[in-house]
Chain A
Amino acid sequence: MSGPVLEAKNIVRDYHVRGGMFGTSRTVHAVKGVSFSVDEGRTLAIVGESGCGKSTLARIITMIDAPTSGELKIDGARVDIGKAALTPEMRRKVQIVFQNPYGSLNPRQKIGDVLGEPLLINTDKSAGERRDLSMRMLKKVGLEEKHFNRYPHMFSGGQRQRIAIARALMLNPRLLVLDEPVSALDLSVQAQVLNLLADLQDEFKLTYVFISHDLSVVRYIADEVMVMYFGEAVEYGTRDAVFSDPKHDYTRTLFAATPRADVASIKARLAKKKAA
């Protein structure tokens, strides 16, 4: 397979906000002309603060939301959900994992049904086949057979995020959009989920779009990094280029604000405190 799995050119998304009974309506420019491409088996990290448009971009890539203008290509095929309905084949190719594993699973659905539902809707597999596939995926993400008939509330945050990842993988997608998948998790659980993502990427040749505000996680997982600020991509390049030589002021501010947990910076801080 040659060519990028995901290609975006000049994506723009405006939201029109009605002003209520007396106010005038206004337009919010959530994403202002962003372009990028991701090759197979690579990870693009999108970094930015709340309100910078990164989640809007995730919705556009996942084809939940249509861009106001711009061109989105998935596996070389142009997609425009504003004009034509999506084929089930396209729906299958891109899946998403959300930030909050407590909110993204239906509390009244057993885990087996959570995993089987994508197959039920998108394929004509029999109940037995669906069960087998779900069971296999459950084990793949590090859970056990006994978990199949349990409800979401019986799981910890990390386990729920594993379930959400398993659900996203049920249809063998090409591209996985991960919207802050580890920011709600503890450090040790975060490490486990990041490892799982790396394992799955190797095994299925998955392409990731990883949205995060945590730079240490991004540095660990990303191949390419895009920094967004007020709807614009202010920095875009390989991980090493962005981290070693940030070009934009905002990227530098972001790096400076990230707390550093190394001995040298602790020593520097203590010395400064003593001097004061």
Chain B
Amino acid sequence: MPLLEIENLVVEFETASGPFRAVDGVSLSVSEREVLAIVGESGSGKSVSMLAVMGLLPWTAKVMADKLAFDGRDLLSLDVAERRRIVGKDIAMIFQEPMASLNPCFTVGFQIEEVLRVHMKMDRARRRARAVELLKAVGIPEPAERLSSYPHQMSGGQCQRVMIAIAIACNPKLLIADEPTTALDVTIQKQILDLLMRLQAEHGMGLIMITHNMGVVAETADRVVVQYKGRKMEEADVLSLFETPKSAYTRALLAALPDNATGDRLPTISDYFDDEARIAEAAR
């Protein structure tokens, strides 16, 4: 049974010029021990659909779905309190900007222990021991001393490690990583990706990797969903996506990679793929 099942998810935002559909009929599923990558450019609705799963969208958003189930429970019919018990515990999320997602006013120790206090009801001593253990697991040197550091005293890569420590604190079944390495240097990106893949394998988590970087997809995913303008263009396992991309959009995306450049100009998406009719056709 899949861990997360989404069928025909639609997210609309009320705007001055009428409703805007950010996500338009996306279906996907993730199983335990599986790494699913959602690829798309900005505005493709990849983050919004996962925020809808987490219930983190503002009240202006209207979330509709035929099915939105986590671990066999319907997320849409849960009340707020019940949902809060799942979010942050069984489903955890890592965001793009590590520096911006940590609270600058509290030590990282406090922020890690907060999750443990709310979800695991641990006492002070056990929380502290677990926080040290977590920082060690994500590869921060001198973990016990670092607990009393503030986010500004750490580098971007270290902040992202702390974010990961917070996310895995309650041994989640599903981890959603929203562009976890976009703000980082390539060598740090490699370390963070290696760390995520190691933790995913060790804990048998389901992992959803949201990214726009085809290289990251190639290095991490088992299965890939390609999104464009809120619609799903293609779903395939990682090898066939790169070997024999089915949708015109995926082909355009791969051709625009500078790695694959053949001539002295890069093909652009619009060379392949510009009109609405073809987008709609590909989404079907």
Chain A residues with CB under 8 Å of chain B are 49-50, 157, 186-192, 194-195, 198, 213-217, 219-221, 253-254, 256-263, 265-267, 269-270, 276
In the complex, the answer to whether B242 meets A195 with C-beta atoms within 8 Å is no
In the complex, the answer to whether B218 meets A260 with C-beta atoms within 8 Å is yes
Contact of A191 with B266 at beta-carbon distance under 8 Å, contacts A216-B258, A261-B257, A262-B242 already known: yes
In the complex, the answer to whether B261 meets A220 with C-beta atoms within 8 Å is yes
**CB interface residues, B 223-258, toward A, < 8 Å:** 238-239, 242-243, 252-254, 256-258
Shortest C-beta distance, A45 to chain B (Å), equals: 12
Top 5 closest A-B pairs, CB basis? A259-B215, A188-B269, A220-B258, A257-B190, A191-B266
The one of B156, B186, B266 in contact with A257, judged by C-beta atoms closer than 8 angstroms, is B186
Chain B residues with CB under 8 Å of chain A are 41-42, 156, 185-190, 193, 201, 212-219, 238-239, 242-243, 252-254, 256-259, 261, 264-270
User: Secondary structure of the A side of the interface?
Assistant: helix
Q: Would you list 14 pairs from A and B whose C-beta atoms are within 8 A, ordered by A residue?
A: A49-B187, A188-B270, A191-B266, A194-B266, A195-B268, A216-B257, A216-B259, A220-B259, A258-B186, A259-B190, A261-B259, A266-B238, A266-B239, A269-B219
The one of B188, B215, B256, B258 in contact with A188, judged by C-beta atoms closer than 8 angstroms, is B256
Residues of chain B within 8 A of A217, CB atoms compared: 258
Residue of B nearest to A195 (CB): B265
Shortest C-beta distance, A222 to chain B (Å), equals: 11
Shortest C-beta distance, A214 to chain B (Å), equals: 8
In the complex, the answer to whether B242 meets A259 with C-beta atoms within 8 Å is no
Shortest C-beta distance, B70 to chain A (Å), equals: 25
Residue of B nearest to A192 (CB): B268
Residues of chain A within 8 A of B243, CB atoms compared: 263
The one of B185, B256, B266 in contact with A213, judged by C-beta atoms closer than 8 angstroms, is B185
Give Cα A253–Cα B189 distance, bound, in whole angstroms. Answer: 12
In the complex, the answer to whether B41 meets A186 with C-beta atoms within 8 Å is yes
The one of A187, A253, A260, A266 in contact with B212, judged by C-beta atoms closer than 8 angstroms, is A187
Give Cα A98–Cα B267 distance, bound, in whole angstroms. Answer: 24
Residues of chain A within 8 A of B253, CB atoms compared: 187-188
In the complex, the answer to whether B218 meets A219 with C-beta atoms within 8 Å is no
Residues of chain B within 8 A of A260, CB atoms compared: 215, 218-219, 259
In the complex, the answer to whether B266 meets A262 with C-beta atoms within 8 Å is no
Residues of chain B within 8 A of A194, CB atoms compared: 258, 266
Give Cα A273–Cα B217 distance, bound, in whole angstroms. Answer: 15
The one of A50, A191, A256, A258 in contact with B268, judged by C-beta atoms closer than 8 angstroms, is A191
Give Cα A243–Cα B261 distance, bound, in whole angstroms. Answer: 15
Give Cα A253–Cα B190 distance, bound, in whole angstroms. Answer: 10
Contact of A186 with B215 at beta-carbon distance under 8 Å, contacts A191-B256, A261-B257 already known: no
In the complex, the answer to whether A195 meets B266 with C-beta atoms within 8 Å is yes
In the complex, the answer to whether B186 meets A49 with C-beta atoms within 8 Å is yes
Contact of A267 with B266 at beta-carbon distance under 8 Å, contacts A260-B219, A262-B218, A262-B259 already known: no
Residues of chain B within 8 A of A263, CB atoms compared: 239, 242-243
Give Cα A194–Cα B254 distance, bound, in whole angstroms. Answer: 16
Give Cα A189–Cα B42 distance, bound, in whole angstroms. Answer: 11
Give Cα A186–Cα B254 distance, bound, in whole angstroms. Answer: 13
Shortest C-beta distance, B164 to chain A (Å), equals: 18
Residues of chain A within 8 A of B190, CB atoms compared: 256-257, 259
- Given A187-B212, A216-B257: 20 more A-B contacts, CB < 8 Å: A49-B188, A187-B257, A188-B41, A190-B256, A190-B258, A191-B267, A192-B270, A195-B265, A198-B264, A214-B186, A217-B258, A219-B258, A254-B187, A256-B190, A257-B190, A259-B193, A262-B242, A263-B239, A266-B238, A276-B201
In the complex, the answer to whether A188 meets B268 with C-beta atoms within 8 Å is yes
Shortest C-beta distance, A17 to chain B (Å), equals: 17
The one of A49, A220, A269, A276 in contact with B266, judged by C-beta atoms closer than 8 angstroms, is A220
Give Cα A257–Cα B258 distance, bound, in whole angstroms. Answer: 17
Residues of chain A within 8 A of B193, CB atoms compared: 259
Residues of chain A within 8 A of B257, CB atoms compared: 187, 216, 261
Shortest C-beta distance, A272 to chain B (Å), equals: 11
Give Cα A189–Cα B269 distance, bound, in whole angstroms. Answer: 8
Shortest C-beta distance, B244 to chain A (Å), equals: 10
The one of B186, B239, B252 in contact with A270, judged by C-beta atoms closer than 8 angstroms, is B239
